[in-house]
Structure 1
Amino acid sequence: MHEIKKLDTNVVNQIAAGEVVERPASIVKELVENSIDAGATQIDVSIEGGGMTKIEVKDNGKGISEEDLPAAFERYATSKLSTVDDLSELMSYGFRGEALAAISAVSKATILTKHDDLASLITSDNGKLSKITPGSRSQGTTITIENLFGLIPARQKFLKGADTEYKYIVKIFTQFALLNGSIHFTLANEGKSIYNFPVSESKQLPVERVAKVYSVSSSDLLPISHEEYGIKVFGFILHPKLLGNTSKFFSSFINQRPIEDKGIFRSVQQGIADFVPDFFKPSAVISVEIAPDQVDVNVHPRKTEVKLLNPFRVYAAITHAIKNSLQQQISEPVRQVGRDSFSRQTTANSWDSKEENAYSRLRGGQQAFFYDGTETAIAEQNKLRQDGGYVYQQQESSENEPVLEARIPEYLVEQARTMISEAEVSTLLGRYLVVGFVDEVWIVDQHAAAERIRYEQFKQAYLEGKILSKQQVLVPIELNITEEEQLVLSKNSTVLTRLGFDVTISGSNLQVTAIPTFLQYENIEKLLRDTINEFVEHDDIFLSPIIDDFSSQKNLSLVIATMACHNSVRMNEKLSHTEAKSIIADLLRCKVPYACPHGRRIVWRLSKEEIDRQFMRN
């Protein structure tokens, strides 16, 4: 007796349904995709019983001809492609030809369609096909799905309640409504109209639809638009002032397909890192357009997962898009107001040259952190080192290693000098700097400001290929690491070297023989352990093999932020007037002067009007 048997077609379809039809929302997704592919300009979705009782999707597309109706319920029957080569240029939603066959195998499916003035009706009841009969309707197609999993109680019991399943349907429906502004969408639940999205002027991601779907004000949605390497990124991100430790909403699309990709979420989170605390989560709608041959949509029947040919380029482009958008729409107004408030009473020559870069000298200066190949610099480093009882040997530099110059455009330097030269600067509570301008006052967190300054210096140096100055440790620091950590650290050893660490990996043992000059010995083990964890956690988006891009390397950013923190003015550390003033001047030279590397606020601005109001002088 043969033990291997060919499965019955109905059994095969029910197995396939397990992949395609996860829940009622999966059916809505497949049917709406078919309507869009049919060229519909209006799509109406009606739900009963959370989609378990009834789902109806009606469109005004081109319809299905009578001779094609039986094939609509067959597996691998599709009008979207005919050869394998078509997959590389695919722009339609559907293409596998599995959806209706799988859906009709586990429900009662009815198609009423009109094509070329001929209306037809056909039904498939859990795989049993009826005869085609004449129907009556306008141009387009109506597909009705009833009694989902009615004959398969084992599948039905895994569904949630009607309300929960309806929420999943709403998510799918609204995603398509956001993607297709040129289509009129409606959604009804239990006979009640829920959404009505008329045709919009914007073909994709109309701001009014985004605002309505996520119940936010249009003014709080910051637009995103960026292009690089042939990758277009656009969408909206919620204003940072409204973000918190949970994401209010997040949707991502690639070539107009709703996509689930953790890398996209992390890329957006990296993009907001300079603007909010690091535990805040982004709320955004991100759409990516890329050449069809750069993305494989044939990964899973549900088509919510894709494979990108160069994922790191896509992730980097998303991060750039977010950062550019926030810098243009948030940072510039803040910085510009500050300049306007006191530029009327200052001159470029009023700066005392002795005060220039006093903060840089406060912590050893920029040259103290990077090799310049001179004995003077090394001697200066040794003077500055606080070794806490441990003995270090300074490592000599190579003639080929680049020298840090940290050049800043002269007009920005002059502007910063002009700004601070006439301002009054004092300290407050041992941890804040108070800066008085002509018509406003800034209260500045001195530690956060110092962190930002050092962070941008280190970051720029890393991007320019410079190497942090090292100090040898006489007794190597040893850590036990897992096999996964070994692989990740081995792959990224050059990064550790550029950050000032010399490490040797031998099996499960990690030996550290040199550390950055400015770091305290007693903090190294914790820093290394945190660094290793970041490497492992974000290995999928770290150190792209395609593009060595700082903005796509979240853990590298965190490591450099930690180093900057270790090397910055502390809270309650007493500063001279020159040092305090120089911190403000150096802060104004930063690209992101309003938040520390961990996202904490640096500056609290109070206008003259606000202060007068408190004293009732307005």
Structure 2
Amino acid sequence: MRAIKLLPSELANQIAAGEVVERPSSVVKELVENAIDAGADDIIIELDHGGKERILIRDNGSGIQKEDLKLALSAHATSKIYSLSELEAINSMGFRGEALASISSISKLKITSKTDSAEHGWCVDNNDLDTLVPASHPTGSTIEVSSLFYNTPARRKFLKAERTEYTHIDELLKKFLLCHFHISMKLFHNGKEVKSFPKALSPEQKQKRIEKLCSQAFIEHAIVINEEIEGLALQGWVAKPQFSKSRADMQYFYVNGRVIKDKLVAHAIKQAFRDILHHQRYAAFILYLSIDPEAVDVNVHPTKHEVRFRESRRVHDFLFSKLNHALSETKPDAPVALESIESDIDGLTFSAQKEKSMAVMTPKTNTKTEDYVETLKLYKEVIGSGVSDQKDDFDEESQNKRHAWSYSEGLNIDPVVTKEASVVTDESVISEACYRLGFAIAQLHGIYILAQNDNGLILVDMHAAHERVLYEKIKESWSKDKALSQQLLVPLTLELTPVLIDALMTHEHQMMKLGFELSVFGENSIVIRAIPIYLRNKDIAGLINKIASTLQHFDVTHDLEAYLNQILATIACHRAVRENDVLSITEMNHLLREMEKTKRADQCNHGRPTWVEMSIAELDKLFMRGQ
């Protein structure tokens, strides 16, 4: 057993540096945060070879006093906290034990700084801390870090290629730029200017910066968030699920101006996107949470990426509820609107988009309205009557499929849109033209609904759309304890394994709330005496097996609501119209109207899109019209 000894300060600092400085981007992060804390609004960054050879950060902040320069490179020296009370309520970009001393221990570091009251600046480097050299320098600081890890070769060999290290720094700077709009920033790499961002103070300038960093498509799909309750405020933008990403590379979450990655926050956001985002896609967002500094601990991780909320459940529920509410309005009659907001995060705003015109729905030709009505009559003769009236041409199985729509309890036909095409008048065409999804023209391959609106054509996946409509209605009934049961004339006996039977009976209360009435019949059988009324003529045996399997693997520590929603989604999927179910024009129009008033109708329960639109301009481009 070796004797215990105190480590030399130099070795201790190098160990500390291992926690803080992983790569050149770690150095840039610490130095830019210090510049922001110093009040800088103009920052210049110079890199050589991806930052491996040289990093220089110049700012116009308040600068460092002459007598403080030596202390700036000393261990456990800081200007950001003086007491335990300040440590427990940090409102700066620090603090995890200031990093300058750690960076100094593994590199060659030089600081040049001048305060506004000083006649000139002063310079100090870590090779000779006792010597201060006068320097010509404007108000602010310049910190130069060169030969990173030169004295720890084992660490240096783990650095990646120049391009990789530069990419890490570039992504880091994007995080700063998306939060601190009042700061201008320039980036030079190997002597060449590669990035330049002026201050973004007006709404238009902010939108332009976000467009440059995150793309125009993000802006077009962004939903504005501006919510506040006592002690908590959430501002920013979250993209509609249509803009989901294949990687989690557009997720920016800030707590009091500090970018973080937190499991609690990630879970709340994931729950808000539950059942509207495909499982292989990732949400995109820029969100800012403002909270009392005393209610959050930012000193739990060396790199300050994580935080700990003192009321974690309250924060989680706040984030989930506000995002879930905003995302619930993703439906066809709610076009994207980037409304202006004013917030504590530099008054972030997007300028509002112009609403799309929804004028009279007539073809983009010289066709008169009466000619369009005649066209609708033709659709009635060719498609409507052929589907709705010729019942004798279908066998019994086809009849059951055709009537599947009528089994949708609670979906009442809207009297405005039940007019048969043959009796549509000029006035009705004009008054009904404002519907976002237009009106059905035909059913394609028993899968899609083809519709026309004022902008062009609409394609709807009828199963996905109906599934979402039913899912939202079933969830609403569930929440209000309004599940309707139907007694079976002949009870249904199912054979299941004892494990599945046990799972069902353990959650008998939930099954009753869903509308099932069942009991055990021997070791391997259950008897079903009642089923939900909306499951008439469906595969009850298959559905019960799926629910039992879900219950078998359900961990009571998981979110009960998520588990129940999974079962409700299964029920909705079984109940929805299927491929090759034949719908009349009236039924198709009814589905379109239901979509327009159903929350989250843009996606099915699995996160797939339910409808797409192709504008007249896009159609013209396909056929080279006007070219």
Q: Where on the TM-score scale, by shorter chain, does this alignment land: which range?
A: 0.7 to 0.9
Given that 1:207 and 1:218 are in contact with CA atoms closer than 8 Å, whether structure 2 keeps it comes out as no
CA offsets 1:343-401 (integer angstroms, 9 cap, x no match): 9999xxxxxxxxxxx989833625xxxxxxxxxxxxxxxxxxxxxxxxxxxxxxxxxxx
Aligned to 1:103: 103
What is the DSSP-based 3-state SS (H/G/I as helix, E as strand, rest coil) of the residue aligned with 1:293?
Answer: helix
- Cα distance change, pair 587–55 in 1 and its aligned pair in 2 (3 A): closer
Separation of aligned partners in 2, 1:260 and 1:451: 34
Given that 1:81 and 1:87 are in contact with CA atoms closer than 8 Å, whether structure 2 keeps it comes out as yes
CA offsets 1:92-129 (integer angstroms, 9 cap, x no match): 0113333111111111111111123152222114xx73
What amino acid maps onto 1:250 in structure 2? Q
Aligned to 2:465: 449
- Cα distance change, pair 162–326 in 1 and its aligned pair in 2 (3 A): farther
- 2:124 is the counterpart of 1:122: yes
Aligned to 2:290: 289
Separation of aligned partners in 1, 2:455 and 2:205: 41
Aligned to 2:407: 363
- Cα distance change, pair 456–340 in 1 and its aligned pair in 2 (3 A): farther
Separation of aligned partners in 2, 1:526 and 1:440: 41
- Cα distance change, pair 19–580 in 1 and its aligned pair in 2 (3 A): same
Separation of aligned partners in 2, 1:500 and 1:147: 70
Given that 1:179 and 1:203 are in contact with CA atoms closer than 8 Å, whether structure 2 keeps it comes out as no
Given that 1:39 and 1:61 are in contact with CA atoms closer than 8 Å, whether structure 2 keeps it comes out as yes
Aligned to 1:38: 38
Given that 1:63 and 1:139 are in contact with CA atoms closer than 8 Å, whether structure 2 keeps it comes out as yes
Separation of aligned partners in 2, 1:334 and 1:221: 6
TM-aligned CA deviation for residue 12 of structure 1: 1.4
Separation of aligned partners in 1, 2:621 and 2:45: 54
- Cα distance change, pair 3–161 in 1 and its aligned pair in 2 (3 A): same
TM-aligned CA deviation for residue 135 of structure 1: 2.5
What amino acid maps onto 2:568 in structure 1? I
What is the DSSP-based 3-state SS (H/G/I as helix, E as strand, rest coil) of the residue aligned with 1:95?
Answer: coil
Given that 1:274 and 1:592 are in contact with CA atoms closer than 8 Å, whether structure 2 keeps it comes out as no
- 2:269 is the counterpart of 1:261: no
- Cα distance change, pair 419–258 in 1 and its aligned pair in 2 (3 A): same
TM-aligned CA deviation for residue 47 of structure 1: 0.9
Separation of aligned partners in 1, 2:624 and 2:161: 58
Given that 2:218 and 2:239 are in contact with CA atoms closer than 8 Å, whether structure 1 keeps it comes out as no
Aligned to 2:435: none
Given that 2:244 and 2:283 are in contact with CA atoms closer than 8 Å, whether structure 1 keeps it comes out as yes
Separation of aligned partners in 1, 2:475 and 2:408: 17
CA offsets 1:290-338 (integer angstroms, 9 cap, x no match): 2223322111121001122344554555453476268379642399989
What amino acid maps onto 2:296 in structure 1? V
TM-aligned CA deviation for residue 434 of structure 1: 4.8
Aligned to 1:57: 57
- Cα distance change, pair 465–100 in 1 and its aligned pair in 2 (3 A): farther
Q: CA RMSD in A?
A: 4.5
Aligned to 2:178: 178
Given that 2:500 and 2:548 are in contact with CA atoms closer than 8 Å, whether structure 1 keeps it comes out as no
What is the DSSP-based 3-state SS (H/G/I as helix, E as strand, rest coil) of the residue aligned with 2:416?
Answer: helix
Instruction: Tell me the number of residue pairs that the alignment of Structure 1 and Structure 2 aligns.
Output: 534
What amino acid maps onto 1:9 in structure 2? S
Aligned to 1:560: 568
Q: Which moved more, 1:213-222 or 1:133-142?
A: 213-222
Aligned to 1:520: 540
TM-aligned CA deviation for residue 526 of structure 1: 4.2
Aligned to 1:148: 148
Given that 1:417 and 1:585 are in contact with CA atoms closer than 8 Å, whether structure 2 keeps it comes out as no
Given that 2:332 and 2:596 are in contact with CA atoms closer than 8 Å, whether structure 1 keeps it comes out as no
TM-aligned CA deviation for residue 15 of structure 1: 1.1
What amino acid maps onto 2:462 in structure 1? Q
Q: Which moved more, 1:242-251 or 1:297-306?
A: 242-251
Aligned to 2:310: 309
Aligned to 2:604: 596
Separation of aligned partners in 1, 2:131 and 2:624: 83
What is the DSSP-based 3-state SS (H/G/I as helix, E as strand, rest coil) of the residue aligned with 1:564?
Answer: helix
TM-aligned CA deviation for residue 437 of structure 1: 7.4
- Cα distance change, pair 136–523 in 1 and its aligned pair in 2 (3 A): same
Unmatched runs of 5 consecutive residues or more in structure 2: 338-354, 363-368, 374-401, 422-438, 520-524
- 2:438 is the counterpart of 1:430: no
CA offsets 1:531-569 (integer angstroms, 9 cap, x no match): 776869x94xx35xxxxxx7xx5x654443232102222
- 2:112 is the counterpart of 1:92: no
Aligned to 2:416: 418
Given that 1:73 and 1:104 are in contact with CA atoms closer than 8 Å, whether structure 2 keeps it comes out as yes
What amino acid maps onto 1:245 in structure 2? S
- Cα distance change, pair 196–611 in 1 and its aligned pair in 2 (3 A): closer
Given that 1:223 and 1:234 are in contact with CA atoms closer than 8 Å, whether structure 2 keeps it comes out as no
**Residue in structure 2 matching 1:570, options 578, 593, 597:** 578
Aligned to 1:327: 329
What is the DSSP-based 3-state SS (H/G/I as helix, E as strand, rest coil) of the residue aligned with 2:193?
Answer: strand
What amino acid maps onto 1:33 in structure 2? E
Separation of aligned partners in 1, 2:518 and 2:31: 56
Separation of aligned partners in 1, 2:209 and 2:121: 34
What is the DSSP-based 3-state SS (H/G/I as helix, E as strand, rest coil) of the residue aligned with 2:131?
Answer: coil
Separation of aligned partners in 2, 1:83 and 1:244: 44
Separation of aligned partners in 2, 1:589 and 1:28: 49
What amino acid maps onto 1:429 in structure 2? H
- Cα distance change, pair 443–170 in 1 and its aligned pair in 2 (3 A): closer
Which structure 2 residues correspond to residues 181-220 of structure 1 after superposition, within 5 A?
A: 181-201=181-201, 206-216=206-216, 219-220=219-220
What amino acid maps onto 1:294 in structure 2? A
Separation of aligned partners in 2, 1:306 and 1:512: 50
Separation of aligned partners in 2, 1:239 and 1:421: 34
TM-aligned CA deviation for residue 572 of structure 1: 1.4
Aligned to 2:252: 251
Aligned to 2:425: none
TM-aligned CA deviation for residue 590 of structure 1: 1.8
What is the DSSP-based 3-state SS (H/G/I as helix, E as strand, rest coil) of the residue aligned with 1:209?
Answer: helix
Aligned to 2:222: 222
TM-aligned CA deviation for residue 181 of structure 1: 1.1
Given that 1:359 and 1:579 are in contact with CA atoms closer than 8 Å, whether structure 2 keeps it comes out as no
Q: Which moved more, 1:512-521 or 1:86-95?
A: 512-521
Q: Which moved more, 1:19-28 or 1:110-119?
A: 110-119
- Cα distance change, pair 153–39 in 1 and its aligned pair in 2 (3 A): same
Separation of aligned partners in 2, 1:208 and 1:167: 22
- Cα distance change, pair 204–106 in 1 and its aligned pair in 2 (3 A): farther
What is the DSSP-based 3-state SS (H/G/I as helix, E as strand, rest coil) of the residue aligned with 1:170?
Answer: helix
Given that 1:40 and 1:183 are in contact with CA atoms closer than 8 Å, whether structure 2 keeps it comes out as yes
Q: TM-score, normalised by structure 1?
A: 0.72
TM-aligned CA deviation for residue 54 of structure 1: 1.0
Separation of aligned partners in 1, 2:131 and 2:484: 77
Separation of aligned partners in 1, 2:205 and 2:480: 37
Given that 2:25 and 2:169 are in contact with CA atoms closer than 8 Å, whether structure 1 keeps it comes out as yes
Aligned to 2:26: 26
Aligned to 1:235: 236
Aligned to 1:458: 474
Separation of aligned partners in 2, 1:194 and 1:169: 12
TM-aligned CA deviation for residue 142 of structure 1: 1.0
Separation of aligned partners in 2, 1:123 and 1:34: 18
Aligned to 1:81: 81
What amino acid maps onto 2:477 in structure 1? A
TM-aligned CA deviation for residue 211 of structure 1: 2.0
Using the aligned pairs only, state the percent identity.
Answer: 32
Separation of aligned partners in 2, 1:171 and 1:606: 35
What amino acid maps onto 1:462 in structure 2? W
Unmatched runs of 5 consecutive residues or more in structure 1: 347-357, 367-405, 407-412, 505-510, 544-549
Separation of aligned partners in 1, 2:125 and 2:526: 71
Given that 1:431 and 1:572 are in contact with CA atoms closer than 8 Å, whether structure 2 keeps it comes out as yes
CA offsets 1:158-205 (integer angstroms, 9 cap, x no match): 221221111111111221122111112111111111221111115999
What amino acid maps onto 2:121 in structure 1? A
